[in-house]
Amino acid sequence: MQQPHPLEAENRALRRQLEALLREARANEEKMRRFEALEHRLIGARSLHELLQLLMDEYRRAFGLDACSLALVDREQELARLLEAELREGMHLRGLRLLPSAAPLQALFGGDERPRLGPFDAARHGPLLGTGLASVALLPLVRRGQLIGSLHFGSSDPERYTADAGTQLLERLGGIVGVCLESALNQERLKLAGLTDMLTGVHNRRYLEHRCLIEIAQARRYRHPLACLFLDLDGFKAINDGHGHGAGDIVLRMVGQAIQGQLRAGDTIARWGGEEFVALLPQAGGPQAREIAERIRAHVAARPIEAGPARIPVTISIGLALLDPEPAGREPAQQAERLLAAADAALYRAKHQGRNRVVSESA
């Protein structure tokens, strides 16, 4: 039997190598196509929440990852506040961790701003990605020379992320994510500025009206109670006339902070206008809502406000109303109007009964 010529065997080996290289090139081309598609979606994200979902859910699905998580430095709890309402509405962000400082990430990367690839270490990587993994990729997120977070990928394939693998694509992704996060945060800050009362720092009437519709829809869907407080400073005109408008502004600001400090984490406070505030208390029935209202009233009355050399005693009157548990087909906007009107009517009664008191009325 004639033996194949050595050159034929060499050619077959070369063809196999070429086919393997072509398969790898096609796979890399497909990976780059998916990466660029996701990149465009990241850049076009309309909110911080959408951006975070794309990072932790869409990227994991698009690239067949077994785990994906994100850690962000949140020293002033700004991110927690920006995401609070959406998280309360059930828009969970699985895999997101907010850190009070960059220290854990600095320990993770050791000052190196390049992605870390290698075998899974349960002690170091388990808290970030869970268990059952074989290899990981850790991407530091850096903006303006500051470590702002890290993105973590995990795979059950030990060959997926190896220490000698190229990191150019991951470095590019880390840079894009850092820019997108900064842009999304700035957008959220602008939105929040339009929904915040500049004098007191609490939400404004526009936000309250929007939030009221959401809380009513939630209350109807899950059949839980919703209370509304209408709060008004007693004798505020006399404070302005006797101490000046600057002192009046200080009083409004301090009272707004005092009200906010007595509310629960899921409650909403807004300045309605002038010296009036409104609070929404989801999942608070009559007794609990009245207890919260009385706590606010007593707290304000017990602490005179220092405005320059003056110590100004302040009291507030509060009207309390509960959402009708049987809306009888009313739209949320109609229910919101009736709820606020009922709380306002209760406030009117509190004023006429002597002020510095809480009065309830059914909505």
54 plus 134 within the same structural domain: yes
pLDDT at 149: 94
248 plus 313 within the same structural domain: yes
In a domain, 199, yes or no: no
By residue range, what is the domain housing residue 52? Answer: 6-193
From 228, 229, 216, select the one nearest 334 (Cα to Cα).
216
Give per-residue pLDDT as tens, 169-183.
Answer: 888 889 889 989 998
pLDDT at 88: 56
Domain ends where: 193, 228, 243? Answer: 193
Give the tokens for residue 113: 């701003």
Domain ends where: 173, 193, 213? Answer: 193
Give per-residue pLDDT as tens, 132-153.
Answer: 999 999 999 998 888 999 999 9
Greater model confidence, 60 or 91: 60
Give per-residue pLDDT as tens, 71-117.
Answer: 999 998 888 888 876 665 545 577 899 999 999 999 889 878 889 99
Label residue 233 left, alpha or beta by phi (over 0 means left) and psi (-120 to 50 means alpha).
beta
179 plus 251 within the same structural domain: no
pLDDT at 111: 78
Q: How confident is the model at residue 162 (pLDDT cuts 50, 70, 90)?
A: very high
Sign of CA dihedral 124, 130, 131, 135: negative
64 plus 153 within the same structural domain: yes
62 plus 211 within the same structural domain: no
Contact call for residues 361 and 349 (beta carbons, < 8 A): yes
In a domain, 1, yes or no: no
Give the tokens for residue 201: 């720092």
pLDDT at 213: 92
217 plus 87 within the same structural domain: no
Mean pLDDT value across residues 127-132: 91
Contact call for residues 342 and 363 (beta carbons, < 8 A): yes
147 plus 241 within the same structural domain: no
Calculate the CA 67 to chain-centre distance. 22
29 plus 147 within the same structural domain: yes
Tell me which residues are annotated as active site: 275
Sign of CA dihedral 20, 21, 23, 27: positive
Give the tokens for residue 227: 């209370």
Neighbours of 22 (CB within 10 A): 10
Mean pLDDT value across residues 245-260: 95
151 plus 262 within the same structural domain: no
In a domain, 169, yes or no: yes
In a domain, 198, yes or no: no
Domain ends where: 137, 169, 193? Answer: 193
pLDDT at 5: 62
In the Cβ-directed half-sphere of 36, how many Cα atoms lie within 13 Å?
A: 6
Mean pLDDT value across residues 283-296: 96
CATH of the domain at 135: 3.30.450.40
In a domain, 30, yes or no: yes
162 plus 221 within the same structural domain: no
Sheet (strand 358-362) strand order: 268-273, 276-282, 226-233, 316-322, 358-362
The yes-or-no verdict on residue 279 having pLDDT over 70 is: yes
pLDDT at 320: 98
The yes-or-no verdict on residue 68 having pLDDT over 90 is: yes
Least confident segment among 163-172, 197-206, 263-272, 283-292: 163-172
Predicted TM-score (pTM) of the model is 0.62
The yes-or-no verdict on residue 284 having pLDDT over 90 is: yes
pLDDT at 199: 94
Query: Hunting for tokens 């009065």 — which residue is that?
Result: 359
232 plus 164 within the same structural domain: no
77 plus 35 within the same structural domain: yes
Per the structure, the count of domains in the chain is: 2
CATH of the domain at 322: 3.30.70.270
Q: How confident is the model at residue 270 (pLDDT cuts 50, 70, 90)?
A: very high
Torsion of the alpha carbons at 181, 54, 135 and 169, rounded to the nearest 10: -60
**Could you report how far apart the first and last alpha carbons of the chain are, in Å?**
100
From 304, 306, 301, 303, select the one nearest 317 (Cα to Cα).
301
In a domain, 200, yes or no: no
The yes-or-no verdict on residue 363 having pLDDT over 50 is: no
Least confident segment among 39-43, 156-160, 339-343: 39-43
In a domain, 240, yes or no: yes
From 247, 268, 234, select the one nearest 350 (Cα to Cα).
234
Give the tokens for residue 352: 């006429």
When the pLDDT of each residue in the chain is averaged and rounded to a whole number, the result is: 88
pLDDT at 80: 86
